[in-house]
Structure 1
Amino acid sequence: MFQYYFMLGLRSLRRNPALTALMVLTLAVGVAASIATLTILHVMSGDPIPHKSDRLLVPVIDNGPLAGYTAGEEPNDRQLSYRDASNLLANKVAERSTALYGISVAVEPARKELPLFNARGLAPTSDFFNMFDVPFRYGAGWSPAEDKAAADVVVLSRQLAEKLYGDSDPVGQRLRINSQQYQVVGVLDKWNVVPRFHRIIGTPDGAFSDEDELYVPFATSVRHEMQRNGNSSCSSDIAPGYQAYLDSECTWIQFWFELRSARERGALQDYLNSYATEQRKLGRLQRQAPNKLYDVREWLDYMKVVGNDSKLSAWLAFGFLILCLVNTVGLLLAKFSVRAAEVGIRRALGASRREIFQQFLIETTVIGMAGGLLGLLLAFGALALIAMQSKALTVVAHMDWLMLLLTFALSVLSAVLAGLLPTWRACQTTPALQLKSQ
């Protein structure tokens, strides 16, 4: 019976092509608008590293001046000073830890046809690659011994490696960076983590920036006084010179801990509190502000990766979908009302109200499927237009299998909901009145 009603539904689409097309288009536009917005929100608010997001923690230590401070006030910056980052690295209180900051360097290709160019990079410690499950195409990251020695080694992104060396394996090659020779020890594979949670601060598009082009050891970048590429916050004037900057309270370094188990978070918090107490005895951290730890999901919320504007846009899109459903209800009422005579004859021949209800509801499902297919195409088009607006939107404006299924399911469900009232009205047709009018 379902197959028979389904075929009737397909035939009904051809009875009034203009009205059918209007219903399908109305439903498709509403679904496309809501799904395109929901897709972006879904990508932006997803857990980028779900198997260990509760074990990766960011410390926030407020080292700002006491003057002008109000208790409970948020710190000026969520980064650490060089002194705090170095102390946390040296104490090794977690399974892994890394300090990192952005750098900008001049790359001198060995290929004569390529001119000198600037590259955006990152200066982390060796634990970085294992902490964040960074995939490698060739080679690997550097060792802790190379961290300690501040060795001149570099890891390239896949895009930069292909630009410099083509498809060949460049591990072991020498690359000139800032007039210094660096040995290539690894090449990353494509690493499209979204949002790019490990480096939200100091990038052009925040959590949705492009991948860094190269990576050098944290200690190496400090030894060579590489140009910083990111945010820096200084609460007071500092003496000239790079060493004075390192010794200052300027915050410019991001820091991450990785724990063996989320249960160790309390012990890490106790360590941070003890560390702050010791630093206060040295005349630092006079604000007495609480030291905080944020896991990945908490960090994304704290940094407002998904802002209120994005959430409001999603609600407005679903409001638009409801408006489209109301219009679809009116069109279905008009479509089914002209078939009152057909319903009356069917009822007179013995069809029950339940059978009439099933027939018309399946017809609305057919309309929903047509609207779903068209809505899916419109959603792809909308996402393509959104992606053209900026690089950050290019990262988030793509649809995965979950959203594909959700688009189709939402369209069918919307059509069924919109068809409940018109279908119920059609079932109330009195056979005697319709037969008498014929």
Structure 2
Amino acid sequence: MFQYYFLLGVRSLRRNPALTALMVLTLAIGVAASVATLTILHVMSGDPIPDKSNRLFVPLLDNGPTEGYTPGDKPNDDQMSYPDAINLLNGKAGERRTAIYGIGQSIEPERKDIGAFTAGGLAVTSDFFNMFDVPFLHGQGWSPAEDKTGADVIVLSRKLSAKLYGDANPVGQRMKLGGLQYQIVGVLDTWKVVPRFHRIIGNDDGAFEDEDELYLPFASAIRHEFQRNGSTSCTGDVTPGFQGFLNSECTWIQFWFETRTAADRAELQSFLDSYATEQRKLGRMKRAAPNMLYDVREWLDHLKVVGNDSKLSAWLAFGFLILCLVNTIGLLLAKFSVRAAEVGVRRALGASRREIFTQFLIETTVVGLVGGVLGLLLAFGALALIAMQSKALTVVAHMDWFMMLTTFAMAVAAAVLAGLLPTWRACQVTPALQLKSQ
């Protein structure tokens, strides 16, 4: 019987084609607007590393001055000073740890058809790649021993490797970066993390920036005095020179811990508190502010990666969908009202109200399916237009299988919801009155 009613629903689309087209278009526009906004919110608020997001932690230590400070104020900055980063690296807390800062250096390719250009990347420690499950296409990262010596080795992104060496495996070759020779030890596979949680601060597009182009040892970048590419916050006097800057309380480094299990968070917090206590004995961290630990999801919330504007846009889109549903209800009432005679005849021939209700509800489901297909196409178009607005939106304005299925489910659910009142009204037709009017 369901198949029969479904075929009747398909045929009913040809009745009053103008009215049917208006219903489908109204429903499709409402669904497309909602799904496009919901897709962006879904991508922005997703867990970028679900297998270990509760084992990766950002520590925040407040090393700001006491002048103008009121207990309970926000920390001095969301980054860390060089002395603290080195101390935490040497402290051996957690299973892995890494310090990160952005760099930008000129590359002088050996290929004559490519001129010198500037590439951006990160100075990190060897634990970085295992901590964040970074995929390799060729080679591997460098060793902890090379961390200690500040070896001049480098890992390239797949895109940069293709630009410099084509499809060849460049591992073992040397390249010129910032006027210095670096040996290539690895090439990453495509690694697009959304949101880009490991390095949000100091980027133009924050959590939705494209991949970094290269990675080199933190100690090597420091040894060669590579300038930082990112934000820096200084609250006190800084001695002139690069070493003076390193010794200062300026915050410019992102730090991450990885613990063996989520339960080790308490132990890591205890280590952080003990470290801050020792530093206060040395005359630092005079604010005595609480020392914070954020896992990945908490870190994204702390930095407000999904802002109130994005949430408000989603609510407005759903409000628009409700408005479209109200219009669809009116159109369905008009469509079903002209079929009162048909309903009356069917009731007189023995059809129950339940059968009439089922038939008309399946017809509205067919409208929902057609509206879902059109809504999906309109949603793809809307996302393409949104992606054209900025580089950051290009990263988030794409639809996955989950959102595709959501589009159809939303369209069908919206159509069924809109069809409940018109279908119920159709079932109330009195057969005797309709037959008498004929």
TM range (shorter): over 0.9
In the alignment, what sits opposite 1:374? 374
Question: How far is the alpha carbon of 1:169 from its aligned partner?
Answer: 0.1
SS of the aligned residue for 1:384 comes to helix
Question: How far is the alpha carbon of 1:249 from its aligned partner?
Answer: 0.1
In the alignment, what sits opposite 1:344? 344
For residues 9-88 of structure 1, the aligned pairs below 5 Å read 9-88=9-88
Question: How far is the alpha carbon of 1:237 from its aligned partner?
Answer: 2.7
In the alignment, what sits opposite 1:105? 105
In the alignment, what sits opposite 2:403? 403
Distance in 1, Cα, partners of 2:276 & 2:236: 20
Question: How far is the alpha carbon of 1:379 from its aligned partner?
Answer: 0.4
For residues 135-146 of structure 1, the aligned pairs below 5 Å read 135-146=135-146
RMSD across aligned C-alpha pairs, in angstroms? Answer: 0.5
SS of the aligned residue for 1:59 comes to strand
Letter in 1 for 2:253: I
For residues 271-290 of structure 1, the aligned pairs below 5 Å read 271-290=271-290
Question: How far is the alpha carbon of 1:112 from its aligned partner?
Answer: 1.2
In the alignment, what sits opposite 2:227? 227
SS of the aligned residue for 2:10 comes to helix
In the alignment, what sits opposite 1:298? 298
SS of the aligned residue for 1:357 comes to helix
In the alignment, what sits opposite 1:416? 416
Distance in 2, Cα, partners of 1:290 & 1:267: 16
In the alignment, what sits opposite 2:322? 322
TM-score by length of 1: 1.00
Question: How far is the alpha carbon of 1:204 from its aligned partner?
Answer: 1.0
Distance in 1, Cα, partners of 2:419 & 2:327: 11
What's the % identity of the aligned pairs? 76
Cα deviation per residue 1:133-176 (whole Å; 9 max; x = unaligned)? Answer: 00000000000000001000000000000000000000000000
Distance in 1, Cα, partners of 2:414 & 2:10: 18
Q: Which runs of 5+ in 2 are unaligned?
A: none
TM-score by length of 2: 1.00
Letter in 2 for 1:388: M
Cα deviation per residue 1:162-199 (whole Å; 9 max; x = unaligned)? Answer: 00000000000000011110000000000011101000
In the alignment, what sits opposite 2:209? 209
Distance in 1, Cα, partners of 2:204 & 2:107: 21
Question: How far is the alpha carbon of 1:68 from its aligned partner?
Answer: 0.4
In the alignment, is the contact (CA less than 8 A) between 2:63 and 2:76 conserved in 1?
Answer: no
In the alignment, what sits opposite 2:387? 387
Distance in 2, Cα, partners of 1:303 & 1:237: 28
In the alignment, what sits opposite 2:267? 267
Distance in 2, Cα, partners of 1:166 & 1:214: 16
Distance in 2, Cα, partners of 1:77 & 1:211: 25
Distance in 2, Cα, partners of 1:104 & 1:4: 66
Question: How far is the alpha carbon of 1:371 from its aligned partner?
Answer: 0.2
In the alignment, what sits opposite 2:199? 199
Question: How far is the alpha carbon of 1:122 from its aligned partner?
Answer: 0.3
Distance in 2, Cα, partners of 1:337 & 1:76: 67
For residues 116-155 of structure 1, the aligned pairs below 5 Å read 116-155=116-155
In the alignment, what sits opposite 1:174? 174
1:431 equivalent in alignment to 2:426: no
Question: How far is the alpha carbon of 1:66 from its aligned partner?
Answer: 0.5
Question: How far is the alpha carbon of 1:76 from its aligned partner?
Answer: 3.0
Letter in 2 for 1:349: L
Q: Which runs of 5+ in 1 are unaligned?
A: none
In the alignment, is the contact (CA less than 8 A) between 2:357 and 2:423 conserved in 1?
Answer: yes
Cα deviation per residue 1:381-414 (whole Å; 9 max; x = unaligned)? Answer: 0000000000100000000000000000110010
Letter in 2 for 1:81: S
Letter in 2 for 1:316: L
Regions of 4+ moved over 2 Å: none
In the alignment, is the contact (CA less than 8 A) between 2:63 and 2:287 conserved in 1?
Answer: yes
In the alignment, what sits opposite 2:95? 95
Number of aligned positions between the proteins = 438
